[in-house]
């Protein structure tokens, strides 16, 4: 238990706890519960009258969250599924109104380092990338079947990769010789497609490509749009929705959705997102791109 908790450092956990903790008890809905780090802190801060519904597509993450949160007993309910279906999961759990809803769109350290599903370019693993390894097509399937134009679109739209067309071309050329089945195959295609002079000194050259393929495999952009449509309706008066995003495309979607709700009795707490401090980034470099936006319901539904 302690090893699992230590393996995952929830980003912006102090800020999330301060901004989203229920002041008068009630339901917290964690649509992407992961390893349960944020959920644990919110349950502690909210007190005995706070209950939590945790949702995640990753069955291994749910098992870990269940162990981590076991001490809270029947105050916790865990559902397997997509955060895009947050409204349906809330209904099934009997949650009509929530004091807080949280969506952390990042990966857990466990998924990157120990899941064996090819989320990280630092290990040679099968190109799976599914949060739920029992359903849907894998990243290897996508790389085998997608056209060059479709691959380029995915890399550009989801990864904001400037060399998307060149990388897509090299992926197609390589798969003609043999399928791309492990992470090393994909890394080699990316390195061949990006001019050496364009490699970043701060991040691995394949970072954006791996991000884009993971998002496509798990249909994350569509899930985010669905969640941003459903989650605000769950909030009670004074309830807050927090979303932690990790790249500009996600943050733009959150920003647009929040601003569109201004005329419907909602308000964003701050015009600019909350970002990690230098100390947090030093202790957890993966937090460096995190941005937290928080929406509050001002009027009763």
In this structure, the number of other CB atoms found within 10 A of the CB of residue 114 comes to 14
- Percentage, residues of the chain above pLDDT 70: 97
Q: Give yes or no for a contact between 30 and 107, defined as CB atoms under 8 angstroms apart.
A: no
Bridge-based pairing of strands 98-104 and 26-30 is parallel
Q: CA gyration radius for the chain?
A: 19
pLDDT tens digit sequence for 247-263: 899 999 999 999 999 99
pLDDT tens digit sequence for 48-85: 999 999 999 999 999 999 999 999 999 999 999 999 99
pTM: 0.93
Model confidence at 9: pLDDT above 90: no
d(CA 108, CA 61): 9
Query: End-to-end alpha-carbon separation of the chain, Å?
Result: 40
Q: Which run of H or E residues covers position 51?
A: strand 50-56
Closest CA to 186 of 165, 208, 164, 210: 210
> Which residues, 6 or more positions from 45, have their beta carbon under 8 angstroms from its beta carbon?
17, 21
Structure token pair of residue 1: 């238990």
Q: Give yes or no for a contact between 295 and 232, defined as CB atoms under 8 angstroms apart.
A: yes
């Amino acid at each position: 238990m302690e090893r699992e908790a230590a393996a995952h450092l929830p980003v912006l956990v102090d800020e999330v706890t301060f901004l989203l903790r229920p002041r008068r008890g009630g339901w917290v809905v964690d649509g992407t519960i992961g390893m349960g780090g944020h959920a644990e802190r919110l349950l502690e801060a909210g007190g005995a009258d706070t209950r939590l519904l945790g949702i995640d597509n990753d069955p291994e993450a749910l098992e870990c969250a269940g162990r981590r949160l076991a001490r809270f007993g029947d105050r916790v309910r865990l559902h397997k599924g997509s955060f895009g279906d947050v409204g349906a999961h809330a209904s099934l759990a009997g949650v009509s109104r929530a004091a807080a809803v949280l969506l952390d769109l990042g990966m857990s350290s466990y998924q990157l380092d120990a899941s064996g599903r090819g989320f990280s370019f630092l290990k040679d693993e099968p190109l799976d990338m599914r949060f739920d390894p029992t359903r849907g097509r894998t990243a290897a399937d996508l790389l085998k079947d997608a056209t060059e134009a479709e691959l380029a679109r995915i890399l550009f739209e989801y990864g904001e990769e400037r060399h998307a067309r060149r990388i897509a071309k090299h992926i197609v050329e390589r798969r003609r010789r043999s399928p791309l089945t492990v992470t090393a195959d994909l890394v080699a295609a990316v390195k061949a497609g990006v001019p050496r002079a364009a490699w970043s000194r701060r991040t691995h050259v394949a970072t954006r490509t791996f991000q884009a393929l993971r998002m496509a495999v798990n249909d994350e952009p569509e899930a985010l749009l669905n969640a941003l449509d459903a989650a605000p309706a769950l909030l009670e008066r004074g309830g807050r929705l927090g979303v932690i995003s990790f790249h500009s495309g996600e943050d733009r979607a959150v920003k647009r959705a929040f601003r569109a709700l201004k005329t419907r009795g909602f308000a964003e707490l701050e015009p600019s997102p909350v970002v990690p401090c230098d100390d947090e980034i030093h202790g957890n470099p993966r937090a460096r791109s995190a941005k937290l936006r928080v929406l509050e319901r001002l009027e009763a539904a």
